[in-house]
Structures are given as C-alpha cells and as structure tokens.
Amino acid sequence: TRVSVSCRPVIANKEISGAVICLSDITLIQNLESQIRRKLSERGLKARYTFDDILHESGTMKETIETARRYAATDSNVIIVGETGTGKELFAQSIHNSSRRKNGPFVAINCAALPENLLESELFGYEPGAFSGASKNGKTGLFELAHKGTIFLDEIGDMPSSMQAKLLRVLQEKEIEPLGSEKSIPLDVRVVAATRQDLEAKMKDGSFREDLYYRLSVFNIHIPPLRERGGDSLELAEVFL
C-alpha cells in the first residue's frame, strides 16, 4: 500500500517528547483530488456524443468508426484528419466516451480561434498577477481541468510555432507550469488533436514541428468527406428533415 506520511513533533516544556505521525492512503488523496478537479470542471466539460450517434450506412464510415473504437481502447494520443464539417469533434467525443477516461472531463479548444498570448493562458492557466489585466484569483488552465480525462485540440495545424514548443514539453514531461508560477503541476491527460490541413506538408515547409507531430500522431484517423460516403447522404438528409 502506498501512503503519504506527515510527521509533527510533540513539544512540552520546550522539549520534544514524541511525535505524531499521520499515514494517509494515496488512493484516498487521489480520489479527493479528482473530486476537487471535477468541481472545477462542472462548467460543462463533458462529452455528449458516442459512436452510436454517428449516422452512417457506408462501408467506408463503418471501417473508420471501427478503427476509432480500437484506438479508444488504448490511452495513446490521436490525430484526427478531415475536411471542415466531417465531424472531427464528434469522433473525439466518441473516443473519449469509449475509453477508460469516460468518467473524466472532456475539454475542447479551437487552437485557431485565439491569439498566441491568450492561447497559452487558456491552455496552461496563470497565477494571480501574472500579467497586466490578469484575474486577481488566477486561472486554472484547460490542461489542468482535463486531468484524468481528454483534451481535444482542434485545428492543431494553426497553432503558432512557439506554442508548439511549449505543447511538446507538456507532452514529454507530463506536467504544466502556469504563467507566473515557479511550480510544475503533474498531469494525466490524453490528447486528441484534429486538423483539416496536411501536417506532413507543413512539416516539410517548417511551419509544424516534426517532433510534436510524432508525439501527437501515435494513432491517425482520416474521416472521409460526405462525397466519399455512398448512401450516407440520404440517411443524413432524412434525419435533418
């Protein structure tokens, strides 16, 4: 059994007459930590969709879903590639809900929607007074909120180069350092990234880091566009009607 030990001296008449030793089960501490983080994530950081919600009839889509199901059973990082509107986040949520992390948070962020300085504070958080205009209470980053769960990095191909380096360090070290903090926070997070771009071409022109790509792309999923999905158009049309 792994325990956390704290020891305090018992002092009487300025002399140490003994000590109080407290042993706490690590599992209990971890569960309490999980409850605290869960309360932090009660703002709706949940995945709503599963593979059963993905409407399809075509064999191409069935194969893609089966592949994603197998990847979900592991704990490795995944890159999802597909054109705009093919359902990349739908797959990301389904992977989360089919994984051992399904009871943990699902946190999503669009890397193309925020400027670089805001993206860093959103992902990694900051300490009180870390910069001008920062909240006096500081801010918990999305990576920390995703502890024991999944973080979905949409449009990863648009992430600035300097942020790519910081993300790579987080993936390597499995810890984050909030802005203005000198302490690192250990994390247990699975990363699912998505892009509509050709990352291999971006690696060749130097706009996307090769080492980051290989950290993220332990598994790759390509979602076919609707024009390659045979009879799916009719089923989708009927549902929307």
Return the structure tokens found at 27: 């599992």
Q: How confident is the model at residue 18 (pLDDT cuts 50, 70, 90)?
A: very high
Residue 139 has pLDDT above 90, yes or no: no
Residue 40 has pLDDT above 80, yes or no: no
Residue with tokens 């990082």: 77
Q: CA-CA distance, 165 to 240, in Å (whole number)?
A: 42
Residue with tokens 């400027």: 115
* pLDDT computed for residue 137 by the predictor: 74
* pLDDT computed for residue 32 by the predictor: 73
Task: Give me the amino acid identity at 125.
Answer: G
Closest CA to 108 of 65, 165, 45, 59: 45
Residue 158 has pLDDT above 70, yes or no: yes
* pLDDT computed for residue 100 by the predictor: 95
Closest CA to 221 of 39, 32, 50, 86: 86
Give the mean model confidence (pLDDT) for residues 55-81: 95
| Least confidently predicted of 132-146, 161-175, 220-234 | 132-146
Residue 44 has pLDDT above 90, yes or no: no
Q: CA-CA distance, 55 to 226, in Å (whole number)?
A: 11
Residue 67 has pLDDT above 70, yes or no: yes
Percent residues over pLDDT 90 in the chain: 60
Buried b (16+ CB within 10 A) or exposed e, 164-198: bebbbebeeeeebbbbebeeebebebbbbbbbbee
Give yes or no for a contact between 36 and 42, defined as CB atoms under 8 angstroms apart. no
